[in-house]
Amino acid sequence: MKRKATKLIHPVQPKEPGVLPHFGAAKTPLYASSTYIFESAEAGAATFALQQGRALEHEPAPFNYARLGHPNLVQVEGQLVALEGRERGQIGGM
């Protein structure tokens, strides 16, 4: 079993489909994007419906707005899950 310090220095590979593999970067880059591009306005609206639970959730919603989720948040959640020895986790603010 790895020690806590060892778990924290290794990048966590996202299990969710559609999460970017960081374009081959050795470490997760800092994503400064606040918004994301979609093929159409309808596709963008559908991601917000998924994010807000108004649609069937057959897979995780793609990123649509940084306050609702972004690649760096997924990375931190994954590291905390590994550190705590859990299967899933979610970070929330307020």
Q: What's the pLDDT tens digit per position in 39-84?
A: 899 888 888 887 776 655 555 667 888 887 888 888 888 888 888 8
13 confidence band (pLDDT: 50, 70, 90) = low
Lowest mean pLDDT, pick from 20-34, 38-52, 77-91: 20-34
User: What pLDDT does 82 receive?
Assistant: 82
Mean pLDDT to the nearest integer, 16-35: 71
Rg (CA), the chain: 15
Predicted TM-score (pTM) of the model is 0.62
Q: Which residue has the higher pLDDT, 63 or 23?
A: 63
Q: Is the dihedral of CA 93, 71, 87, 26 positive or negative?
A: negative
SS3 for the chain, per residue? CCCHHHHHHCCCCCCCCCCCCHHHCCCCCCCCCCECCCCCHHHHHHHHHHHCCCCCCCCCCCCCECCCCCHHHHHHHHHHHHHHCCCCCCCCCC
Q: Which residue has the higher pLDDT, 41 or 94?
A: 41
